Amino acid sequence: MKLFLFAVTWIGVLFAGKPAFAQEEFIMPEAKLLTKFPFTQLSGGIVIIKATIDNHPDSLNFVFDTGSGGISLDSTTVNYLGITKTMSDRTIRGIAGIKTVEFAYNHTLKLPGLDIDKLDFHVNDYDLLTSVYGMKIDGIIGFSFLRRFIVHIDYDKQLMEVYTPGRFKYPKGGYLLRPDFSTLPLQLASVKDEKQVTGRFIFDTGAGLTFLLSKEFVEDSIIFKRKRKFYPTQAEGLGGKKMMDITVASEVRIGPYKFRNVPIHVFDDEFNVTSYPLLGGLIGNDIMRRFNVILNYPERSIHIKPNNHFPEMFDYAYTGLGIYLIDGEIRVIDIIKGSPGDKAGFQPGDIIFSVENNYTKNIQAYKTLFQNSIGKVKVIIFRDQKPLILTINIKDIRRNR
């Protein structure tokens, strides 16, 4: 909310014959802490919040997503809870598609210590996200929640605090960003490689990557050298899977903060998510998790302060494998031709039994091992119910730039 200044001035005559002025300033009350609660982080820094809906006792998993212009529920979850759906003429758009959605109107989201009522949830299918993350994804929390509060995300403690709108004292040692706002925060940042280019990017905590640029932005700005090596890869988003390329940029700057050798995904924005040239792409949570962040949508500002994750290395590992949790098994589903995974002999349908000496059958653990490894990694798989040992030589995307 804005600070309103109301001045009442009057002129009198003092003994010296000089005019006198008086001013009254009306200011917002101080922001008050409403609740705080822990959250879980998945690969790429994705934030998962536990909450319930209305009076249903079931605990649900929500992705906390500044890249969402509303709030949503998974279609399977809606059916399980018996929530009424109403067809609408509204559409939602993501990197892999556009679709018309149903709505579940006028429901209450219950966070630990805080109820948010009169919320209209759009309904979407998050089965793909569930298989990607290895846990049931019941919905996404976005703008409909964020516009009502000040939210502090402490990635060091994995703790979230929610405040009323009002005067807020930001911690020392950080920086206050002033992004443009639609329903999404649009932040200025610069990317440097062959040349330095500044653009506006969606501030997207729901994206488990560092930086995503549209192909049009990359081609028009000529950021990268013509002979730059790009590696084909795959990401998941609204509408399904999306092929894209990945490379490394020399530098990325956000406010006064600079990162070197940053992995950059480049995608063909066929569904015009970025409305290019309005936007160049998005800033993902693998960058933003390196700050403790205060989202102050009522004041249209975002405060960032480097945290303990700030100096951590980025993920430069390239396998070319798409692995998903399906029917309780971690399976290789997608294999990019010519990639390290292809050369290692993986086939669609292979069940991953272990990576190195990790036998947990935890997809997050296996993804972390792949992401943090360069060079040869031993993987035990089952194919046609028979065990096989494959060795994948994980590539470093910083090479051959």
Is 80 exceeded by the pLDDT of residue 122?
Answer: yes
pTM for the model: 0.90
**What is the DSSP pairing of strand 60-64 with strand 139-141?**
parallel
Taking residues 18-31, report their average pLDDT. Answer: 70
- What was the pLDDT predicted at 139? 97
- What was the pLDDT predicted at 24? 66
pLDDT classification of 9: cutoffs 50, 70, 90? very low
Taking residues 295-314, report their average pLDDT. Answer: 97
**What is the DSSP pairing of strand 33-38 with strand 159-163?**
antiparallel
Is the domain covering 317-396 a CATH 3.40.50.970 domain? no
CATH class of 190-285: mainly beta
Cα separation, 88 vs 76, whole angstroms: 18
- What was the pLDDT predicted at 23? 60
Q: Which residue carries 């994206």 as its tokens?
A: 207
Q: Provide the sign of the torsion angle of the four alpha carbons 143, 215, 256, 208, taken in this order.
A: positive
Is 50 exceeded by the pLDDT of residue 376?
Answer: yes
Cα separation, 305 vs 293, whole angstroms: 7
> Do the beta carbons of residue 210 and residue 98 sit within 8 Å?
no
Q: Going along 112-171, which residue ranges are E strands?
A: 114-124, 139-141, 150-154, 159-163
Cα separation, 304 vs 271, whole angstroms: 31
pLDDT classification of 261: cutoffs 50, 70, 90? very high
- What was the pLDDT predicted at 95? 81
pLDDT classification of 16: cutoffs 50, 70, 90? very low
Taking residues 133-141, report their average pLDDT. Answer: 96
- What was the pLDDT predicted at 13? 34
Neighbour tally for 348: CB within 10 Å: 10
- What was the pLDDT predicted at 28? 83
Residue 222's contacts (CB-CB under 8 Å, 6 or more residues apart) are 194, 195
- What was the pLDDT predicted at 4? 32
Lowest mean pLDDT among 73-87, 205-219, 232-246, 327-341: 232-246
Neighbour tally for 283: CB within 10 Å: 24
Q: What is the tens place of the pLDDT at every residue in 185-200?
A: 999 999 999 899 999 9
Is 80 exceeded by the pLDDT of residue 12?
Answer: no
Q: What is the tens place of the pLDDT at every residue in 82-99?
A: 999 999 988 888 887 888
pLDDT, the chain, mean: 91
Taking residues 244-252, report their average pLDDT. Answer: 96
- What was the pLDDT predicted at 1? 34
Taking residues 58-83, report their average pLDDT. Answer: 97
Q: What is the tens place of the pLDDT at every residue in 143-175?
A: 999 999 999 999 999 999 999 999 999 999 999
Q: Going along 183-309, which residue ranges are E strands?
A: 185-192, 196-203, 211-214, 231-237, 240-254, 257-267, 281-283, 291-296, 301-306
Is 90 exceeded by the pLDDT of residue 66?
Answer: yes
Taking the domains of the chain in order of start, what are their residue ranges? Answer: 190-285, 317-396
Taking residues 54-60, report their average pLDDT. Answer: 97
Looking at per-residue pLDDT, the higher value among 11 and 217 belongs to 217
Q: Write out the H or E segment, with its range, that includes residue 216.
A: helix 215-221
Cα separation, 205 vs 187, whole angstroms: 13
Looking at per-residue pLDDT, the higher value among 199 and 238 belongs to 199
> Do the beta carbons of residue 239 and residue 292 sit within 8 Å?
no
Neighbour tally for 136: CB within 10 Å: 14
